[in-house]
């Protein structure tokens, strides 16, 4: 079973999201165990103060090191030193590859940054990885922590019964997912592509792969630089490029 510890000063943010959908089922099936730790409980003073003014002056507040360190020490002593992740705007970008890697871990520890961030000595002493979910600023690390938990949980072995459901997701192979259709066959004058109604599995496979490549080319072309492409993919891409250039000319 994977254990995830989350250090935060806003524990109530996690109550509803962790009780829904795949994460809830994973917890009920004893595939993951999630513990939310309010490190305000480890503050050294009676007012439970966890932040202070930055040395050197400037706006904002900084999370003090003592409460976070004390909380981490308790976790380490009881459950061992898991992979410790700090969520902050300065971190490297969270990706599907990281999610797949962390899904194989036995123990993740997530520190939710806040205010102007955590005291640098926490990062230097305890943190294995510093992560951002995008080039924008949020109020704190709680929402990114939920994103990380959801992305990792769905990749833990046994969480999703049909592994193909996870393997077909966008980014699993470095590409965006192909379009999906369900009933009815016609909706507001738009029909499901004939190939999907044909029952011809090889034609369907090729259509889906080509549409995946098309979406990636049009929306996230930089992903193609790292994707593992075979000869068929390269032929599809050449056709997609030619069609795209022709459309642009018109």
Mean pLDDT for the stretch of residues 45-74: 94
Share of the chain above pLDDT 90, in %: 85
The ranges assigned to domains in the chain are 2-153, 186-249
CB of 4 within 8 A of CB of 87? no
Best CA proximity match to 110, nearest among 133, 136, 142: 142
C-alpha distances (whole Å) from 2 to each of 22, 63, 92, 110, 202 are 15, 28, 23, 13, 38
pLDDT of res. 161: 75
- More confidently predicted of 245 and 203: 203
CA distance 141 to 87: 6
Highest CATH level, class, for 2-153: alpha beta
Mean pLDDT for the stretch of residues 27-39: 97
pLDDT of res. 250: 53
What's the CATH code, domain 186-249?
Answer: 1.10.1270.20
Q: Which helix (H) or strand (E) holds 75?
A: helix 65-79
Per CATH, 2-153 and 186-249 having the same topology is answered no
Residue 88 φ then ψ, to 5°:
-160, 160
Mean pLDDT for the stretch of residues 1-10: 97
CA dihedral (117, 121, 126, 132) in degrees, to 10, reads 30
Is the C-alpha dihedral spanning 202, 208, 211, 217 positive or negative? negative
CA distance 112 to 43: 16
Is the pLDDT at 172 greater than 80, yes or no?
A: no
pLDDT of res. 162: 60
Give the pLDDT band (50/70/90) at residue 174. confident
10 Å Cβ neighbour count for 116? 15
Is the pLDDT at 165 greater than 90, yes or no?
A: no
Mean pLDDT of the chain, nearest integer: 93
Best CA proximity match to 63, nearest among 113, 22, 21: 113
Give the pLDDT band (50/70/90) at residue 46. confident
Query: pLDDT tens digits, residue range 88-139?
Result: 999 999 999 999 999 999 999 999 998 889 999 999 999 999 999 999 989 9
């Amino acid at each position: 079973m994977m254990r995830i510890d989350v250090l935060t000063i806003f524990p109530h943010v996690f109550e509803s999201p962790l009780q829904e959908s795949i994460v809830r089922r994973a917890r009920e099936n004893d595939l993951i165990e999630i513990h939310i730790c309010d490190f305000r409980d480890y503050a050294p003073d009676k007012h439970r103060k966890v932040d202070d003014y930055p040395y050197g002056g400037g706006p904002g507040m900084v999370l003090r090191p003592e409460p976070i360190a004390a909380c981490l020490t308790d976790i380490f002593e009881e459950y061992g030193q898991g992979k410790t992740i700090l969520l902050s705007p300065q971190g490297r970008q969270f990706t599907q590859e990281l999610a797949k890697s962390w899904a194989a871990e036995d123990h993740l520890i997530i520190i939710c940054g806040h205010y102007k961030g955590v005291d640098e000595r926490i990062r230097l002493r305890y943190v294995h990885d510093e992560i951002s979910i995008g080039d924008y600023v949020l109020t704190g690390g709680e929402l990114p922590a939920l994103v990380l938990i959801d992305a990792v949980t769905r990749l833990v072995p046994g969480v999703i019964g049909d592994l193909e459901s996870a393997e077909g997701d966008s980014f699993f192979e470095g590409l965006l997912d192909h379009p999906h259709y369900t009933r009815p066959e016609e909706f507001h004058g738009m029909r499901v592509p004939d190939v999907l109604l044909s029952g011809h599995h090889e034609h369907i496979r090729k259509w889906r792969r080509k549409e995946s490549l098309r979406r990636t080319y049009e929306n996230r072309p930089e992903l193609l630089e790292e994707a593992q492409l075979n000869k068929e993919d390269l032929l599809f891409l050449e056709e997609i490029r030619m069609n795209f250039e022709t459309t642009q000319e018109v």
